[in-house]
Each structure stands twice: as C-alpha cells, then as structure tokens.
Amino acid sequence: MRSNRLSMALAFVGLFCIAAAIAAWQAGSVLAYHEGVSLPSDYRYWYHVGSKSISPEAATALGLPAEIFGNTFDAVFANDTALNDLRNNTRPFRDGATFVAPFYKLENPVAGLDANGELLFTAVMMKDSEHFAETGGWGFEAFAPDGTRLSDLRPACISCHQSQAANDQVFSTLNERAVSAVPASDNGVFLPHDYRSLYWRGSKVIRPDAATAIGLPAEIFGNTFDSVYANQEALRALRGESRPFPVGSLFVAEFHQAAYPVDGLAAQGDLAFTAVMLKGAPGTGDDASTGDWKFEAFAPDGTPLTDLRGACISCHAGQSANDYVFSGG
C-alpha cells in the first residue's frame, strides 16, 4: 500500500520532494538493521506463535545442548511481516521478517506445573537478504538479559537452523484457528481476532496432579498449555497496580491440550478453548460476586460455552483482593 501511494506521488512532479523524503525514511529504516541484528523492545506485543517447556533430557533427545536449553521455557514471537508470510506460506520470508524467542528459566511452583521464570537470553532472527546473504538472508543474534550481544553463539545458531532449509531456516509453524471474527456472546464478551498480538503475560503447562493441587478440575485443566494475554487497559492497571481495572480491560486465557512429542518436552497441541474476561460499565457485570466483569469461554470453532459461566464466576470470585483477576502485577 505504501508503494502504491509512493508511485502515485511520483506521478505529480510537485510532490516529488515528498516521495523522496519517504524513500529516504524507508532507506533509513533499512539501514537500521544493516548495522546488525538488534533486540526489539516491544516484541511481547508481537504475535505469540507458541511456547515450549524443555527438560534437560528432552534437550539432549532433540540434539540441543542441555546446559543451554535444558530447564527452559521459551516463547516465539513474529512481527507483522513474519506473521503474514507464515499465514500466506510465503517462502523465503520477505526482508524485515523478524522472529524473537525469549528463553526463560523453567519454573515449577507446584509439581506438575511448568511456568516461565526469569529471563535467561533472547534469540533473534531478522531477514535482510542482501546484508545476510551468506547465511541465507537471516541475521542471528542472542542477547543476555542486560542486552549484551552473545555473538560467540552465532555459528551454532546458523548450523542448527540450516536443518530447516525447507522452511527457510525457521522451526516454528502456525498452530491457530482460522482467523475469522468470533461473534460476541449474549453478555457482550468477544474474542478479539488478533488476541495473540495482545501483550503476552506468560504461559503454563498444567498436568493433572498440578490441577488437583491448585484446586482446578483435572478433567478440564489437566494436561493443558495455557497462555494469558492482556489488552492495553488491563496492562496499564497491572503495571501501575491500580485496582479496580478500568472499563474495557480485557484478558484472554487460551488453553491448548498439552502435547509431549518427546519425553520432558511440553508443546501446544490442539486448541481446547479460549476464556475471556471483559470489564463492563458499572452495574453491567455477570454477577455481583465478581464486580463488573463479564466472562465467556469459546470453543475452537467460536461457539460460546455459556454453560461454564457459573463456574468462571464462582472460581474468580475468590480473587476479590485483585479485582477478581488471578494474574498479578
């Protein structure tokens, strides 16, 4: 679209200066990554492609160095260019496509529950077919939590990712429902079609024993892999620790079946259901015991699971001190 606008501008000689200015600005943004791969600051607002929990045994079984990848919990994010290319099956990926993969320490707050703990390092792949021509057009870099470049690791990145030549060196594939609008439920709760690009709060693997230990029904929550996303209103309140959450705050908790392709490795399998909480105007909540919140879960095909609403309310009512939300600041 921008290039359309650019060529229209070029048709008018009088607008040539503007076109030149835009071209210079575009060249400037290209130059930014000619200087090397940088760490984008906003990647947790990018599309969350998925997460994995990796034990040392699983790392070894997968041919990953266990001292680096063992006991990690990762997340993979794609920028708009990378996401569009994934969705449209465009290979090679276009210039500007970028993936960011933060690796966290694997935390087990309860036996059988895996969560992402402190950040260990962040791996980045950025496509610039000219500048990184020698490595298939991708620039690789990992960053320590303080931002230091771990450039010594680069040869290892390159040699391992070359195994994915058929997918232009990218391991991740999409695991999402058809991206279509899900109609709002009778209480007005809706599932934003781009909810995986809301701020990623974190993910968890819940095995049946852990579900029971934390008081969740094991037949619903046992062996699930969930991810929680927050919109801007909710995130601002979380960060500022201000409660109650403002009207319009929205949380999404997406639950996949946990899949164990290798012993000790948990990945996201089939989508199970997606739960949403929306903060309504005063007096419009589903039930007095959960303030102004409205709840709904949606099946993978978008059908509202309204029968579950009573359960949502009775469990979330216990979080009154945090305005009925489990996630903390």
> Which residues in this chain contact ligand HEC in the complex, by CB under 6 A?
50, 52, 63-64, 74, 76, 99-101, 123-125, 140-142, 153, 156-157, 160-161, 170-172, 204, 216, 226, 228, 251-253, 275-277, 295-297, 308, 311-312, 315-316, 325-327
Pairwise CA distance, residues 141 & 93, whole Å: 18
Asked if 77 and 97 touch (Cβ cutoff 8 Å), the reply is no
Residue 22 vs 112, nearer CB to ligand HEC: 112
Helices (H), the chain: 2-11, 16-34, 56-61, 66-69, 80-88, 154-161, 208-213, 218-221, 232-240, 309-316
Least gap, CB of 78 to ligand HEC (angstroms): 8
φ and ψ at residue 63, rounded to 5 degrees? 80, 20
Q: Which tokens go with 209?
A: 């024993």
Contacts for 319 with CB less than 8 Å, ≥ 6 apart:
325, 326
Q: Which tokens go with 313?
A: 């309310």
Residue 9 vs 251, nearer CB to ligand HEC: 251
Q: Which tokens go with 1?
A: 């679209």
CB atoms within 10 A of CB 41: 8
Q: Which tokens go with 12?
A: 């008018």
Least gap, CB of 277 to ligand HEC (angstroms): 4
Contacts for 27 with CB less than 8 Å, ≥ 6 apart:
none
Least gap, CB of 7 to ligand HEC (angstroms): 34
Least gap, CB of 290 to ligand HEC (angstroms): 10
Residue 19 vs 224, nearer CB to ligand HEC: 224
Q: Which tokens go with 223?
A: 């062996």
Asked if 60 and 54 touch (Cβ cutoff 8 Å), the reply is no
Residue 26 vs 314, nearer CB to ligand HEC: 314
Least gap, CB of 16 to ligand HEC (angstroms): 40
Pairwise CA distance, residues 144 & 158, whole Å: 18
Residue 9 vs 125, nearer CB to ligand HEC: 125
Least gap, CB of 30 to ligand HEC (angstroms): 20
Q: Which tokens go with 9?
A: 């501008």
Residue 22 vs 158, nearer CB to ligand HEC: 158
Residue 4 vs 159, nearer CB to ligand HEC: 159
Least gap, CB of 66 to ligand HEC (angstroms): 11
Residue 74 vs 128, nearer CB to ligand HEC: 74
Least gap, CB of 55 to ligand HEC (angstroms): 14
Q: How far is CA 2 from CA 5, 34, 90, 290, in A?
A: 5, 21, 20, 46
